[in-house]
Structures are given as C-alpha cells and as structure tokens.
A and B are shown apart, each in its own frame.
Chain A
Amino acid sequence: MSTTPPNIDPRAAALFQTDGRLRRRRIVNRLMEALGTIASLAAVAVLVIVVASVVKNGWGAFSVEFFTTSPSLSGFGTAEGGILSSIVGSILLVVIATIFALPIGVLVAIFVSEVAPRKVADVIRLALDVINGLPTIVTGIFIFSVLVLAQGQSAIAGGLALAIIGLPLIARSAQEVLRLVPTSYREAGLALGAPRWRTILGVILPTSLGGILTGTTLAIARVAGETAPLLFTTSLAVTTSVTWDPTQPVQSMPLTIFQYAEQPDPSFHEQAWATGAVLLAFVLVVSLISKFLLARSRRKLTQ
C-alpha cells in the first residue's frame, strides 16, 4: 500500500531501523502487557474457581429439608437436618444491625454534610474511616467486654457488633448523596422562610433516600458475611431450634460454615458448602442491587 521509492531516504529509513535497544524495549513492553493481562485473568479465575467450588460441592445438600429444618443432634457424627436456625439467626442479626446502624449513620451523615463546621466534619470523616478499618475480631471483643461479660451472649450483642461494622458504609453513602443534592434545594427552603430542620427533613433527606438505601444494602451485604464479630457475642447458641428472641444468642450462616468446616465428617463439609452457596448468593445479589441503586441515584441527582 505504501509507495516506497527504491532508494529510501535515510531519514525515512530511520523509521525501519531496529537496533538491540529498540528490540529490547518492545519485548519489555509486550512482557508487561502480558503480565497485566495474566494478573487480571488470574483474579477472575480465582473468583470462578471459588464460586464453582461452592456450587459444585454444596449442590448435593440442597433440598427442601435443608432450608426448612434446623440441625438435629444425632449420635452418628453426621450432619442431620438443615440450616433453618442459621438462616433465621442471620436475618435477625442483620435486622438488628440495620436498626442501630441506619439511623445513626444517617444522623452522622447529616451532621457532617449539613451542620458541622469544616474542620469538625473532617475529624468525624477520619473517625468513620478508622472505624471502617478496625479488625472485626476486635469489634467483637469490644462488644464482648461491654455487653457479654455482664449479660451473656445475645443476638443484640452480635447485632451491635455488626452495626459498628456497617455504620461507616451507611454514613459514607449517605454523605455522598447528601453532597449531590443541589444547593438550590437548600436555598429554596431557606428563601421560603423554613427553618433548617424542616428543609433537611422534608426536602433534602427524601431526595437522598436513594443513596441512603444504597448504603444500607452495601452494609447488609457486608455484615451478612461477617463471622469474627459473632464469635464472642453470639456463638454459643442453641442450634437445633429457631430462636427469634434477641436476648438469646442465635446461630448464623457464617458461624455454621465456620464450625462445620472443622468437623471431620464430609456430610458437614457438604452442608458447609451449601450454606456458603446460600450466603454467597445472598451477598452477591445484594451487592448487585446496591450497584444498581448507586447508578440510579447518581443519575437522578446529576440530571
């Protein structure tokens, strides 16, 4: 396609010259590109492998009974019954956690975005990030020392530990969406003569509901899978029946997986995988929902 004259001008010939150095540079470039691709493929591969393991190994334990009955203690050392008590317990714990984390998270977000002076807001934001980075086992130990030593284990204790973990997530999402609310809304409220609290509760908060919902679902996806905070707060539960009593410790799915994984008999392993499949499905679905909600609330507010 190119009309190269028979005697190439030496300046153009320079375009075709390849010396060792250029060759090396090209090879290094290709190598690095390959490494980046391999790393990404490896990460996706690990995800696929783990999910596939969970589904493949747990499939055999799925049955109606698995979802509708609690474990029964048999003398044979094999898993009997299902995980109903764990499912109910997990639901209870997540609900308790949300009841505590949601209002406080929203209040903190309002404080940081609407009320607090800049420096104070920065400190609180830092504090939220620090809480977010606390090892979850330490959070569990904390609630253990505050509540459990005195009152014994309970679903409330477990829920509180989970609430501490979920709080920064809700507060952060709420903050982000509060920031996106156009200043014109606030100004309109003030111009009407409405007091700040009316504007915040009546106009700004409802507008931010989408983002708050997003943050809540993110938090739920996160805390549903946590095990460490439950170890010292709600691990000595009666597993053979369903408990709705929050003052008692409850079994939960992560804890069931944790305990069954250590059992020698493969029937427990199978149930552990199956519980993992349920938990994983829940977490992934809720994560996807939160991503969808995030995209939607961003779209609505930046229109």
Chain B
Amino acid sequence: MTAVPTEFPAGRRFGDRIGDNALYAITAAAGAGVVVLIGAVAWKVFDGSSLAFSDFGLGFLVHSVWDPVHNEFGALSFIYGTAVTSFIALLLAAPIAIGIALYLTELAPRAIRETVGALVEMLAAIPSVILGLWGILVLGPFMLNHLEPWLQSFLGWIPLFSGDPSQKGILSASIVLTIMAVPIIASVARELFVRVPAELKDGARALGATRWEVVRGVVLQYTRAGLGAAVILGLGRALGEAIAVTQVIGGTVNIPSSLFESGDTLASRIAAQYQGSASNLQTSSLFYLAAILLVFSLIINLIAQLIVRRFEHTHIGAS
C-alpha cells in the first residue's frame, strides 16, 4: 500500500510560485505599460507645447495667424479646417456607409455578400499615402475640370461653391476623408445589422410593411446607439488623418469661405512642417496643435467606446 503524502515537496512549490509570480509581474507590467503609455503621450505632447502655451495661452485657439517669420502662431484656421472637412466627410460617409451595410445584410443576394463586403473592407486597407497620391494626380484634375465646375453651375449662388475651381482644397480633402471613413462605419454597421433578431423583422413584415419600412421602423431604431458609435469612430478617423489630407488640401493658413479654396487641418499642418521649424517657438506651436488634436481625438474616441460598451450592456440585459 503506497503511503499517502502528507505534505508536498517544498522545493517544487517554491519554483512554481516564482514562476507564477514572475508571470503575473511581467504581464501586469505590460498591462500597466499600456495605460501609462497613454499618459506618457499626453504628457509629452502637452509638455512640448508649454513654450507656446506660455507665450500665447488659450488665445492660441482663436488666433488665425501662422507666421514663422514674425513668430506669431495660432490654431484657429486649422481648427476650422478640421471641423469643416470632418463634418463634410461624415455628412457624406454616414449615409453611404449605412446604405452599404444595409445592402450587404438585407438586400444583396447571398452569393455576393461576402465578396462585396470583402471589397469594401479592402478600401480600408489602402494606405492613406496612396489615396493621397491618387487624390493629387487623379482626383485633383477631376475636381478642377469636372466636379467643381459642375457643382458651381448648380449651386454657385451659395458662397460655399463660389470662387475658382481648383485641384487642391477643402472639397478634395473632404472627399478623400469620406473614402476613408466609409469602410470603417460600414463594417461596424454591418456587425450591428446582422445581430438584429430575425423574429423582430418577421414581426414587422407580418404586419404588411415593406422592406424599407422594416428597416426604418425597427432595424435602425434597434441599432441606433451602435450606429452613433460607428459614426463617431469614423469621425475619429477623419479627424486624425494627416497624410492624405496634407497632400490634397493645399496647405494655406486661412479661413476659407468656399469649399473650392485651400486650407489646412490640425493634423495636416503638423505633417506639412515635418521638414523642420524655424524656431523653438514654432516647434512648440506644432506641439500645441498636436495637443489640441489629441484632446479632440481622445474625447471622441472615449465617447465612441463608452457608447459601444453601454450598448452591449443594454442589449444583453434586454434579451
């Protein structure tokens, strides 16, 4: 009869404990590092802007001059450019993306759903510098020679569409941003629409409603919160895009009244000055721009993430 051990070898347990503790410590360090990273980014960016902040204070936000020669800097024209391009991009991208998502989940013949869906996602995989290149060399001339004159012929009486058509400008940048935002919003929206319970849609159809009426009355309402998060995620993308925008927006410091004019956004102005600054103040002002961009982006991102998390929570609760 084998003896039943009444204690376990201490040595082996010690080794186990060290191993476990080491694992916990290392992985916890990685986890903590992730959180610390965000803090570090914020800190360094704000720290780098301290010179400009001490010189300009919050007035920087409402000053629309950017003059390296006289060392006078302000963010207003870029905040304006960011706001306008993002707004137009979302205005165009949201309905298009939701339309695509609805098509892919409700309308399209099953056989092509996967393929078309994959193609739309491939649009998101295109590096922004290539879209920017296309924007300069293909979209630009098209804007100059076709789209903008066409818009002007209809809507030229609105100040937004006045002035000379141009290759680079607010409108070009907005279109490029739209192309980038659509796949992101569409892919989130698709996930949402697929999860709408079939019996909910059946119930609506059984009353004698058309497909669109079911979408409008039931599907869109059911996914309302998630769609909001999707659009906000798209906004985050548009807000932070530096490369493609700087390639097609013209890079001027002004508050354009027409969409055909050139301008600049926060991200694109930072990108445009990568080759060097004339002074420490200019560098610090760039950091100031980055700080503003960071704050906008963090707020937007957090709002989107909170909506997503709350949305998951309520729907699990309801079912």
Contacts and interface: CB of A to CB of B under 8 A. Distances in A.
Interface of A: 25-26, 28-29, 32-33, 35-40, 42-44, 46-47, 49-50, 53-54, 57, 104, 107-108, 110-112, 114-116, 120, 123-124, 126-131, 133-139, 141-142, 145-146, 164, 167, 171, 195-198, 200-201, 221, 224-228, 231-232, 235, 254, 257-258, 261-262, 269, 272-273, 276, 279-280, 283-284, 287, 291
Nearest to B237: A133
A137 B290 contact: yes
Contact of B34 (A53, A108, A195, A258): A108
A43 B213 CA distance: 25
B56 to A, nearest CB: 18
Size band of the interface chain B makes with A: 35 or more
5 contacts: A37-B107, A196-B20, A221-B125, A261-B132, A283-B126
A141 B45 contact: yes
B30 A280 contact: no
Interface string B230-260: 0001001001111100010000000000000
Given A39-B100, A135-B297, A138-B297, A53 B129 contact: no
A254 B127 contact: yes
Interface of B: 16-17, 19-20, 22-24, 26-31, 33-35, 37-38, 40-41, 44-45, 47-48, 95-97, 99-100, 102-104, 106-108, 116, 118-120, 122-123, 125-134, 136-138, 179, 182-183, 186, 210-213, 215, 233, 236, 239-243, 247, 267, 270-271, 274-275, 286-287, 290, 293-294, 297-298, 300-302, 304-305, 309
A25 B24 contact: no
A243 B16 CA distance: 46
A167 B91 CA distance: 31
A57 B100 CA distance: 29
A40 B126 contact: no
A132 to B, nearest CB: 8
Nearest to B308: A129
A287 B125 contact: yes
Contacts, number: 249
B242 A137 contact: yes
Ranked nearest first, the 8 interchain pairs of A and B with the lowest CB-CB distance are A225-B127, A135-B240, A195-B16, A111-B27, A36-B103, A107-B30, A39-B99, A231-B274
B44 A110 contact: no
Question: Chain B interface mostly helix, strand, loop or mixed?
Answer: helix
A29 B213 contact: yes
B6 to A, nearest CB: 16
Contact of A104 (B30, B116, B119, B183): B30
A200 B23 contact: yes
Q: Max chain B CB contacts within 10 Å: which of A33, A171, A273?
A: A33
A109 B79 CA distance: 37
Nearest to A287: B125
Contact of B31 (A112, A141, A257): A112
B120 A145 contact: no
B212 A134 contact: no
Contacts of A141: 45, 48, 270, 286-287, 290
Contacts of B19: 195, 197-198
Given A53-B134, A104-B33, A135-B240, A283 B210 contact: no
Q: Max chain A CB contacts within 10 Å: which of B119, B127, B183?
A: B127
Contact of A108 (B31, B45, B267, B290): B31
A114 B26 CA distance: 13
Given A43-B120, A43-B182, A145 B33 contact: no
Given A137-B270, A195-B20, A284-B122, A111 B28 contact: yes
B37 A164 contact: yes
Contact of A135 (B33, B96, B239): B239
A120 B128 contact: no
A261 B137 contact: yes
A32 B28 CA distance: 51
A290 B300 CA distance: 29
A204 B45 CA distance: 39
Contacts of B300: 133
Given A47-B119, A261-B132, A135 B34 contact: no
Contact of B133 (A120, A128, A273): A273
